Amino acid sequence: MSGDRTNLLGLARAELEAFVAERLGAKPFRARQLMKWIYRRGAADFSVMSDLKQDFRTQLAEVAEIAVPQIVTQQVSQDGTRKWMLRMDQAQGIETVYIPEPDRGTLCISSQVGCAMDCSFCSTAQQGFNRNLSVAEIVGQVWLAHRELATQDGSDGRRITNIVFMGMGEPLANYRNVLPAMRIFVDDLGYDLSRRRVTLSTSGLVPQIYKLAEECNVALAVSLHAPNDELRNELVPINRKHPIAELLAACWHYIDQQNGRSITFEYVMLDGVNDKPEHARQLVRLLKGRPAKLNLIPFNIFPGTRYRRSPPAAIVKFRDILNQNGVIATTRRTRGDDIDAACGQLAGRVKDRTLVRLGTKMSALRVEAPLP
């Protein structure tokens, strides 16, 4: 919202209907027309909305706006992956990534400026945490990518068929804003995606998984990364609060409740850390006979990390042990790593507010210059 104008981007259908009724005395179908313009046609300007009366458009522009984040930079990888840095304020930016494949186009979006989960192998964690994104800032990433993909040269056939919350941030730690954004993604007047094509990935916030099971039915991915609590405590610190047994119970509940197919468990392959045959056998014991799929992610390196990627042969062997023992496992192909757009490489620009509390981290010395 700027001044007293309401940002219509991200308003739920019912909220938009209430807004046009209360502020403009208009019928509910006006809200539906507006949604089609905003999401399907990517309009940001009321003046182009030709099936709305001129008077109505003028009135709208006085009380409302369609405000989207601003693009700071765009990078295109050799493999066609695109990464946008979006301005969140003078000094901070978040990243959104588009990954084209022959049969689909996946948009990987962020839910927070930085992340507070502190997973030891993730570059976003090193940036620290600043704040949650608003609904408009989450939906705005899709709006912008949609527009950019449609308007750029050679855009033939490039479109968004899937949305994944696998960018910066822990989406379940921003539940309040992530849930309404997902509703826009699946609304037939919004982005009209099937619930199976919207994936929320979480490091394992157990209470929020139960809550989500009651309220939404998107696909769930869980960052497992270790087959036992000792190792997971080290890699994914939230495990100290919600250990593996508790997390898996929440996952199976989610599938029962949602009549879903399966949970995708993400597992980053770290050389000599979690990639031994014994780890694969432990995973089999946890997941065999369950509605689970494992997605092995070759570790993506970033400056300052102590980890290394598992060699290809170790990944193949690990995958074979799982598959031969009845657990479906696939390897995620690395995309966009030449532009630091691969999993765990999104750094954006974050003014870490956890430093104020902790006061000791070295990065407190980092100088924050304004974004261009």
Tokens 């403009």 sit on residue:
24
Of the pair 177, 223, the CB lying nearest ligand SAH is at 223
Q: Closest approach of Cβ 26 to ligand SAH, in Å?
A: 39
Tell me if 336 sits within 8 A of 81, measured CB to CB.
Answer: yes
Nearest-angstrom CA–CA distance, 311 and 317: 10
Q: Closest approach of Cβ 242 to ligand SAH, in Å?
A: 13
Strand residue runs (E) in 162-218: 162-165, 198-202
Q: Which among 108, 115, 119, 343 is annotated as catalytic?
A: 343
Would you state the structure tokens that stand for residue 72, as one six-digit string? Answer: 């700071």
- φ, ψ of residue 18 to 5 degrees: the values are -65, -40
Of the pair 64, 263, the CB lying nearest ligand SAH is at 263
Of the pair 130, 203, the CB lying nearest ligand SAH is at 203
Q: Closest approach of Cβ 201 to ligand SAH, in Å?
A: 4
Indicate the residue whose CB is closest to ligand SAH.
344
Q: Which residues, listed in sequence order, are joined to residue 7 by a DSSP beta bridge?
A: 65
Q: Closest approach of Cβ 62 to ligand SAH, in Å?
A: 39
Of the pair 38, 164, the CB lying nearest ligand SAH is at 164
Q: Which among 95, 137, 148, 266 is annotated as catalytic?
A: 95
* CB burial string 126-154: b at 16+ within 10 A, e below: bbbbbbbbbbbbbbbbbbbbbbbbeeeee
The answer to whether residue 119 is catalytic is no
Tell me if 226 sits within 8 A of 105, measured CB to CB.
Answer: no
Q: Closest approach of Cβ 203 to ligand SAH, in Å?
A: 4
Nearest-angstrom CA–CA distance, 275 and 264: 18
Would you state the structure tokens that stand for residue 359, as one six-digit string? Answer: 């006061």
Q: Closest approach of Cβ 42 to ligand SAH, in Å?
A: 26
Report the candidate in 106, 96, 52, 41 with the shortest Cα–Cα distance to residue 70: 96
Residues 6+ apart with CB under 8 A from 285: 227
The answer to whether residue 278 is catalytic is no
Of the pair 67, 164, the CB lying nearest ligand SAH is at 164
Per CB under 6 A, residues contacting ligand SAH are 119, 121-122, 166, 170, 201-203, 223, 266, 268, 297, 299-300, 343-344
Alpha-carbon distance values, 329 to 181, 284, 324 (Å): 30, 11, 10
H or E element at residue 278:
helix 277-287
Active site (catalytic) residues: 95, 343
